Chain A
Amino acid sequence: MLPLIIMLGIFFFLLGVGYFLVSRVPTLLHTPLMSATNAISSITILGAFLLLSKSLSPLITVLAIFAVLMASFNCIGGFLLTDRMFKMFRKKE
């Protein structure tokens, strides 16, 4: 029972905190916000790394490496695009 309560606790706590913080982001920055959160969701790459540190069947090794490929595309593409967009927002001198 304990793991269930801890996991659900973390999940709902961060759902709430995340919602609060994101509601403070102006609509001006909603596109880079989505790009940034998309990059953050690729943190699943850690799951693939953890899998690959164990001895796996060839099939699962291939699947995990595919996951690494997808997640690193997401991570690097997402963070770079976010930064590129943030740089565009300039104010009058």
Chain B
Amino acid sequence: MGFPLEYLVAAVVILLFLVGIAFFRSPRTARLGGWLNILAYAGAVAFVVIRYPVFGPEFVLIAVLLGGTLGSLLAVRVSMLGVPQMIAFQHGCGGAAAFLIAFSEFIREGADLTTLAQVGGVLGIIVGAATFSGSLIAAGKLARKIEQRPVFLPSHTTIVFGLLFFALLLSVLAIFEYGLPFAVGLATGLIVVSVVIGVIFTIRVGGADMPVIISFFNATAGFAAAFCGIALSNFLLIGCGACVAASGSLLTITMCRAMNRNLLGVFSGIRPSVARPAEALEPVPAEASSEEGSPFDRAIAALKRAKDVIIAPGYGMALSQAQEQVRSLAKWLKERGAGVRYAIHPVAGRMPGHMNVLLAEVGVEYDELFEMQVINDDFKEADLAIVIGACDVVNPAASTRQGTPISGMPILKAHEANAVIVLNYDEKPGFSGVDNPLYGMKHVIPIWGDAKANLNALLSSLQQ
């Protein structure tokens, strides 16, 4: 950068990105917004490559083709269930690219960076390398390849702060020694320490908190890109990095609120322990309570009677791959003239908005998907709520009991419906470890077992 034309290009590219993101406010215009982003990105790349021809273009081309092919193969093939781990992995790649560039610029002979650029460089190395290793751990946890429970080392917090202090020390020394041969060694050490920080930091975060941590690394990948931009004195990188950091920060805050967690609690891996065993809630009288028969028959009767149905899906539905069956059940209900809506809790999936893409993948129209705040007051007028593979997000104990990990967490008020069918794997509590009093209520019909198999059984019985 340095010439007015470059500033102009940077401004136009950032503006296009912003307009693209503005189009994401509605599903009708979102796709156009996505293409505006691609256009802006391609324009920026074309401008830089034409103006600053690279040495050895054949190697660069091979790298682009290889990365692009792998990326497109994964993007086309990944199932919506696998999207969180793919995106977590990509955050790792973003962090890696940022720290490699910041490091290269920092140790490059003849770069002659200003002190400001040097600070940007070391920050880019720290944040980029920690995002890289941390995101790989998060991707492993999301893919269920790594232990879900938080891993605690002895004096974990002290280790984290000690390592951070060590990184700070190395940074200061590297800037002090800048331009001297020893700075290369210090910057290399900084990469190693930062990678270790990312690992130690992330192993302590539990599987249930992954929606928070994936958003957090989305933000740090943005910050790393922005720091990289400061190292290179490149406004385009700073601007784009800041936009991404803003988006990731907002999603982090949204996820924390939806889980009633604070960020420090997530990072420490500690969840408030369950103070008391679950006490039965006052049962809500309902017509179903007087009926006899197996839960299966009661569920059939409730489904045949229902005119206004709300479906509350949870991650268990996705794990049993029951989305198609859920949609078939909704179709059957609609053909009988019933209204069917889906109530989506913000943390029903493994990342922000995950449940929506899981349902959209099987063809559920988006005007049937409702945010929790919009639909929550309609449960009490609904004839029937169907809970599928969801526990904590429909647990009334969140609002009736104090001192549990979910106390105060906003929930879907499925228990307020006239009748509730629960299709969960078992009666065990969800991630939070809090028993769910919903299961014991008289108007609730629990059907335990694999949701997919049970839905198939219900469907074949209904269609006779």
Query: Which residues from chain A sit less than 8 Å from chain B, CB to CB?
Result: 3-4, 6-7, 10-19, 21-57, 60-61, 63-92
Contact status B218-A44, CB under 8 Å: no
Known: A10-B242, A52-B56, A86-B30. Is A35-B344 also a contact (CB below 8 A)?
no
How many A-B residue contacts, CB cutoff 8 Å?
357
Which of B105-113, B399-407, B443-451, B454-462 touches A?
A: B105-113
Residue of A nearest to B241 (CB): A41
- Chain A nearest CB: distance from B8 CB in Å? 14
Which of B14, B45, B70, B224 is in CB contact (< 8 Å) with A45? Answer: B45
How many angstroms between the C-alpha atoms of A73 and B234 in the bound complex? 22
Quick one: which of B103, B243, B254, B344 contacts A37, CB cutoff 8 A? B243
Interface SS of B by simple majority: helix
* B3 adjacent to chain A (CB < 8 Å): no
Q: B34 contacts the other chain (Cβ, under 8 Å)?
A: yes
* A9 vs B94: C-alpha distance when bound (angstroms): 24
Q: Are A88 and B67 in contact (CB under 8 A)?
A: no
Residues in chain A near residue B346, CB distance under 8 A: 27
Asked if A41 and B222 sit within 8 Å, CB to CB, the answer is yes
Among A30, A46, A81, A86, point to the contact of B31 (Cβ < 8 A). A86
A-B contact pairs, 10 of them (CB 8 A): A7-B116, A43-B41, A48-B101, A53-B55, A56-B55, A66-B96, A72-B63, A73-B71, A80-B72, A81-B86
Chain A min CB distance to B347 (Å):
10
Task: Enumerate the 6 nearest inter-chain pairs by beta-carbon distance, A residue then B residue, closest first.
Answer: A77-B71, A30-B353, A18-B246, A72-B67, A53-B52, A30-B352
A76 lies within 8 A of B242 (CB): no
Most buried by A among B49, B104, B245: B104
Enumerate chain B residues within 8 angstroms of A66, measured Cβ to Cβ.
Answer: 63, 96, 100
A21 to chain B, nearest CB (A): 5
- The distance from the CB of B358 to the nearest CB of chain A, in whole angstroms, is 9
6 more A-B residue pairs beyond the given contacts A14-B238, A51-B108, A92-B368, with a C-beta to C-beta distance below 8 A = A27-B344, A28-B356, A47-B228, A75-B68, A77-B86, A85-B83
A33-B24, A67-B96, A77-B71 given as contacts; is B64 within 8 A of A72 (CB)? yes
Contact mask for chain B residues 195-238; partner A; CB cutoff 8 A; 1 contact, 0 none: 00000000000000000001100100110111011101111111
Structural contact, B251 and A30, CB atoms closer than 8 A: yes
Nearest-CB residue, chain A, relative to B53: A53
CB pair A75–B104 under 8 Å, yes or no, is no
**Are B225's CB and A49's CB within 8 A?**
no
**Binary contact track B32-62/A, C-beta < 8 Å → 1, others 0:** 0111011001001100110011111001100
* Cα–Cα, bound, A72→B236 (Å): 17
Residue of B nearest to A12 (CB): B242
Interface 9-mer from B73-81, B136-144, B302-310, B428-436: B73-81
Q: A18-B242, A44-B94, A76-B75 in contact; A51/B250 too (CB < 8 A)? A: no
Question: What is the chain B residue whose CB lies nearest that of A56?
Answer: B108
Chain A's closest residue to B51 (CB) is A53
Complexed CA–CA distance, A39 and B249 (Å): 16
Chain A residues with CB under 8 Å of B261's CB are none
Contact B44 A16 (CB under 8 A): no
Q: Are A41 and B221 in contact (CB under 8 A)?
A: yes
Q: Please give me the residue from chain B that is nearest to A64 by CB atom.
A: B104
Q: Across the interface, do A10 and B365 meet the contact criterion of CB distance under 8 Å?
A: no
Kindly state the separation between the CA atoms of A60 and B184 in the bound complex, as whole angstroms. 12
Q: Shortest CB–CB separation between residue A31 and chain B, in angstroms?
A: 4
Is B369 in the interface zone, CB < 8 Å from A? yes
